[in-house]
């Protein structure tokens, strides 16, 4: 019987153990940041162990750095945590992307931008959104701090092979509908824990047509579907993306030859399989406190059929029968490892055209990395956002995790391009509504959620008039 993409990458990395039990797998890339690494480094010291492969470890600061003025970290604990990472990287000879330098940014932006994220690799990081890197055909997953320490000391991990879940996505997305909407649709349809215990693989013509950025968005949110690992087989777009990047393999053509063998065989079988057609998919907005509590734009929020939904309505101060248009938005946040790549900012800007942010809305753009910020500035995108009334910030995780001074004020409703709408995620009593960057930007200028498909036509007809 044939093998899945996951099987192929997994097999190459198994060093010990029987299938069905925990197996020792080699880790090709370990990305670290300031929040989940200090305890691991400290244990290395107390146990007298050394870091096995510093050259396969890369570090960046992202969770704690402020985004208004990165040089003024007000919180003493945050300062200490950043300084601890700097000292640890120095002591253990790990490359740290310079604070404020061109390579710094959210850890899941940095790996691909450097070309360190590659097909066929095993990649881990003490952060659940490590699944993002699976968009390149890697087995990439989040780990806890004890596992961070284990990788430090051994460059390996004991893991039980996951079951596989194949997700075929077909159909052409309408204008104004994005990969973020596909993943929110999947989570809504099947539930936030559907993928638990599975390595999920996306494929199908819709996936083939997505850019690397859009694929990363889908894999990033695989964890919100419960899947620890999410993958997409590499293709020409993947190789093109990686070519010439600083940490791409020196023997690039040889690498491509190997990468071309990384796909699911036609006669391979997944342990579970689902298929969706996205031709008629509408943009999504979440109304509740899990990513599964979302609906296509225009659909009425459901009746409270259990205590979880009741609780969500109480927290969000919304009720059954309302629609996304009724959400009293006061804040718009474009940022995070889900949707703060250059393409996201380009798509969002399409909806700005000569418009201003509504008076009652605070709107903020936080590019995911310094590279994205600089490119967006060079392209004139930053000016467009600033002229429309957005705040244009320094890169970082920012209000997605709200541990750096950036929070959504209590009880405010925020259109957010992030990945989690959990209670208090973006600050105590914050009310997060997940959506695509286009939806968020359009909401900022309209003052409320609006259908990006309709607006795209408005923008297009406007353009048509201009060019006529």
Partner 1 sequence: MKPFTVHKGRLVALMNDGINTDQLMPSRYLSHIEKKGFGKFLFANWRYLDDEESVPNPDFPLNYPEHQGASILVAGDNFAGGSSREHAVWGLMDYGFRVVIAGNYNDIFYNNSLQNGLLAITLPKEERVALSELPPETEITVNLETQTIETPEATYHFDINQENRHKLLHGIDDITQTLEYDGVISAYEHKWNDFYQPQDRAERQA
Contact set for partner 1, span 20-59 (CB under 8 A): 21-22, 24, 26, 28, 35-36, 38-39, 42, 47, 49, 52-53, 55-56
Nearer to partner 1, 257 or 275 (CB): 257
Q: Which residues, other chains included, contact 467 with Cβ-Cβ below 8 Å and sequence gap of 6+?
A: none
Asked if 166 is part of the footprint of partner 1 (rule: CB under 8 A), the reply reads: no
- Cα–Cα dist 9/234, whole Å: 12
Query: Under rule CB under 8 A, which residues in 286-345 are in contact with partner 1?
Result: 289-290, 307-308, 311
From residue 344, give the alpha-carbon distance in Å to each of 47, 366, 436: 45, 11, 8
Torsion of CA 54, 397, 136, 247, to 10 degrees: -40
Q: Which residues, other chains included, contact 204 with Cβ-Cβ below 8 Å and sequence gap of 6+?
A: 167, 168, 169, 170, 275
Nearer to partner 1, 80 or 209 (CB): 80
From residue 327, give the alpha-carbon distance in Å to each of 177, 287, 402, 450: 20, 8, 22, 11
Minimum distance between the CB of residue 42 and partner 1, rounded to whole angstroms?
7
Asked if 150 is part of the footprint of partner 1 (rule: CB under 8 A), the reply reads: yes
Contact 121, 26 (CB under 8 A): no
Helix 38-47 vs helix 145-154: angle between axes, to the nearest 10 degrees?
50
Query: Under rule CB under 8 A, which residues in 60-79 are in contact with partner 1?
Result: 63-64, 75, 77-78
Nearer to partner 1, 207 or 295 (CB): 295
Contact 234, 203 (CB under 8 A): no
Nearer to partner 1, 123 or 207 (CB): 123
In the block, tokens 């330098």 appear at 101
Instruction: Answer yes or no: is 89 a known binding residue.
Output: no
Asked if 189 is part of the footprint of partner 1 (rule: CB under 8 A), the reply reads: no
Asked if 7 is part of the footprint of partner 1 (rule: CB under 8 A), the reply reads: no
Nearer to partner 1, 21 or 267 (CB): 21
Nearer to partner 1, 84 or 211 (CB): 84
Asked if 121 is part of the footprint of partner 1 (rule: CB under 8 A), the reply reads: yes
Asked if 164 is part of the footprint of partner 1 (rule: CB under 8 A), the reply reads: no
Contact 92, 54 (CB under 8 A): yes
| Burial class (CB within 10 angstroms; exposed 0-12, middle 13-18, buried 19+) of 54 | middle
From residue 378, give the alpha-carbon distance in Å to each of 91, 339, 383: 37, 19, 10
Site string for partner 1, 84-113 (x = CB under 8 A): x-----------------------------
Instruction: Answer yes or no: is 337 a known binding residue.
Output: yes
Site string for partner 1, 352-391 (x = CB under 8 A): ----------------------------------------
Asked if 423 is part of the footprint of partner 1 (rule: CB under 8 A), the reply reads: yes
From residue 457, give the alpha-carbon distance in Å to each of 210, 438, 447: 21, 13, 19
Among 197, 204, 302, 409, binds partner 1 (CB under 8 A): 197
Among 2, 74, 80, 279, binds partner 1 (CB under 8 A): 80
Asked if 251 is part of the footprint of partner 1 (rule: CB under 8 A), the reply reads: yes
Contact 124, 117 (CB under 8 A): no
Query: Under rule CB under 8 A, which residues in 429-468 are in contact with partner 1?
Result: none
Minimum distance between the CB of residue 131 and partner 1, rounded to whole angstroms?
10
DSSP codes, 281-296: PPPEEE-SSSTTSEEE
Sign of the Cα torsion 197, 199, 203, 208 reads positive
Query: Under rule CB under 8 A, which residues in 123-142 are in contact with partner 1?
Result: 126-128, 130, 141-142
Using the contact rule CB under 8 A, the part of the chain among 202-210, 354-362, 377-385, 398-406 near partner 1 is 398-406
Nearer to partner 1, 419 or 436 (CB): 419
Nearer to partner 1, 47 or 267 (CB): 47
Known binding site: residues? 337, 397, 400
Known binding site for [4Fe-4S] cluster: residues? 337, 397, 400
């Amino acid at each position: 019987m044939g093998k899945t993409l996951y099987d192929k990458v997994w097999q190459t990395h198994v060093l010990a153990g029987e299938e069905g039990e925990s197996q020792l797998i080699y880790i090709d890339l370990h990305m670290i940041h300031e929040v989940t690494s200090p305890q691991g480094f400290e244990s290395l010291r107390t146990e007298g162990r050394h870091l096995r492969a510093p050259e396969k470890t890369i570090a960046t600061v992202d969770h704690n750095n402020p985004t208004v003025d990165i040089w003024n970290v007000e919180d003493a604990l945050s300062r200490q945590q950043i300084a601890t990472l700097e000292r640890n990287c120095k002591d253990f000879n790990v490359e740290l992307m310079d604070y404020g330098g061109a390579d710094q940014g959210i850890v899941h932006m940095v790996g691909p931008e450097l070309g360190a994220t590659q097909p066929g690799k095993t990649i881990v990081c003490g952060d659940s959104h490590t699944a993002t890197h699976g968009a390149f055909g890697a087995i990439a997953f989040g780990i806890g701090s004890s596992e961070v320490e284990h990788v430090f000391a051994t460059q390996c991990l004991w893991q039980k092979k996951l079951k596989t879940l194949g997700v075929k996505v077909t159909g052409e997305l309408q204008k104004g509908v994005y990969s973020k909407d596909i993943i929110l649709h999947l989570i809504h349809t099947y539930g936030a824990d559907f993928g638990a215990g599975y390595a999920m693989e996306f494929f199908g013509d819709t996936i083939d047509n997505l850019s690397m950025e859009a694929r990363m968005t889908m894999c990033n949110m695989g964890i919100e579907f419960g899947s620890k690992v999410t993958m997409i087989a590499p293709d020409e777009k993947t190789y093109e993306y990686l070519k010439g990047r600083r940490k791409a393999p020196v023997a690039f053509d040889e690498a491509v030859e190997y990468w071309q063998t990384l796909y699911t065989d036609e006669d391979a079988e997944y342990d579970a399989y689902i298929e969706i057609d996205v031709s008629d998919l509408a943009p999504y907005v979440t109304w509740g406190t899990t990513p599964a509590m979302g609906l296509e734009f225009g659909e009425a929020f459901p009746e409270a059929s259990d205590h979880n939904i009741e609780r969500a309505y109480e927290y969000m101060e919304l009720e059954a029968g309302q629609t996304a248009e009724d959400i009293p938005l006061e804040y718009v946040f474009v940022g995070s490892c889900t949707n703060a790549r250059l393409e996201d900012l380009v798509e969002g800007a399409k909806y700005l055209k000569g418009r201003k942010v509504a008076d009652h809305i605070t709107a903020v753009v936080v590019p995911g990395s310094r590279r994205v910020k600089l490119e967006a500035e060079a392209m004139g995108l930053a000016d467009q956002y600033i002229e429309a009334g957005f705040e244009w910030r320094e890169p970082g995780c920012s209000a997605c995790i709200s541990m750096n001074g950036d929070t959504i004020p209590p009880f405010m409703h925020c259109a957010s391009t992030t990945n989690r709408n959990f209670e208090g995620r973006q600050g105590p009593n914050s009310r997060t509504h997940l959506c695509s960057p286009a939806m968020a930007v359009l909401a900022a200028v309209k003052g409320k959620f609006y259908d990006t498909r309709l607006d795209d036509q408005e923008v297009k007809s406007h353009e048509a008039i201009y060019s006529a």
